[in-house]
Amino acid sequence: MGMRRAVGGWALLLAGVFLVAVGCGAPETADVGVPGDSCPRIVENGGDVIPDPPDGVAACPPGDCNYQSQEGCSDDTTCQPTRVAGTTDLVPSCVPAGTRGTGDTCDATNPCVRGHFCAQGYCRKLCCGQDWSACDEGESCFRSLSLRLDNDVVDSGAWLCFPINTCDVLTSATCDPQGYDCKVVDPRGLEACIPPSPEQLGEPCSSANACARGLTCVGDPGEARCRRLCRAEECGEPSCPEEEGVCVHFNRNPPLVGECTPGF
């Protein structure tokens, strides 16, 4: 860190934690409805390949230590975002580790174990670059971590592991009390409640999460558009309007969920 001096301070870091959900084939086999059925045709296997997880360790910002691997810190310390004295910069630095584990409540006097961060009163495992392989079973790396420093909200470069498969993308009912939408949060078709996005049907989008409720972002970077989600089972609802194509389940979708896909 050169001549800059990093200062810790749980009170500072815990005072303002902002979690931002970010973020997002060719058909192989298809099961179609019988001609004459009253229900719309569906495609139960549209294919596509789930990519390998990103290299989270390499995606972490440089510093004295690594948020995801914890390399650079001793066993009794943990790598966390730390403010550089006299600035609003955050750098990875080692601070004393606590005893609270994943999902445990935490605060300034009850810090989290090595590799975790106290976010909104609970210990969450640190990760980088949406690398879901860094998370425990039942969680994914889909919330970025920003901290309030004075009047600024600063991106730490770290992400956090949160529980997945906690909702249904076709209803979002369990997310309503938070004012959130249920969205697909990584390429494996896993769902979670995240803040809503404004992009509407057919509008450009930049990630799997960046579309309004009931929609998903599909397409190559720079060309992606919001597409309607549908129930990929016989006579399932919601179904696809005829002008939006056929309900096709891809590997990137949750079970029995598809996308209204033209051209099938």
Mean pLDDT, 10 residues at a time, the chain of 264 residues: 41 48 42 60 89 96 97 97 91 97 94 96 97 96 93 94 95 93 93 95 89 93 94 95 95 96 88
The structure tokens listed for 13 are 């870091």
Interior/surface letters 139-161, b for 16+ CB within 10 angstroms, e for the rest: bbbbbbbbbebeeeebebbbbbb
The tokens of 197 are what?
A: 């996005």
Sheet holding 116-119, edge to edge: 17-21, 139-149, 152-163, 122-127, 116-119
Q: What are phi and psi of 169, to 5 degrees?
A: -60, -20
Distance CA 146, CA 65 (A): 18
Give me the sign of the Cα torsion angle 155, 161, 162, 165.
positive
Alpha-helical runs (H) found in the chain: 10-15, 56-59
In this prediction the pTM is 0.81
pLDDT value for 7? 42
Helix (H) or strand (E) holding 18: strand 17-21
CA proximity to 186, closest of 235, 248, 253: 253
Backbone φ and ψ for 110, nearest 5 degrees, come out as: -130, 75
Q: Which of 128, 116, 151, 142 is nearest to 209 (CA)?
A: 142
Token reading at 102: 């994943």
Q: Which amino acid would we find at residue 110?
A: N
Q: What is the rounded distance in angstroms from the CA atom of residue 128 to the CA atom of residue 144?
A: 8
CA gap 200, 29 in Å, rounded: 30
- What does R_g of the chain's alpha carbons equal in angstroms? 21
CA distance 175 to 21: 14
The tokens describing 168, both together, are 């249904």
Peptide bond into 238 cis (omega under 30): yes
- β-partners of residue 155 are 146
Cβ atoms 216, 208 nearer than 8 A: yes
pLDDT at position 19 is 63
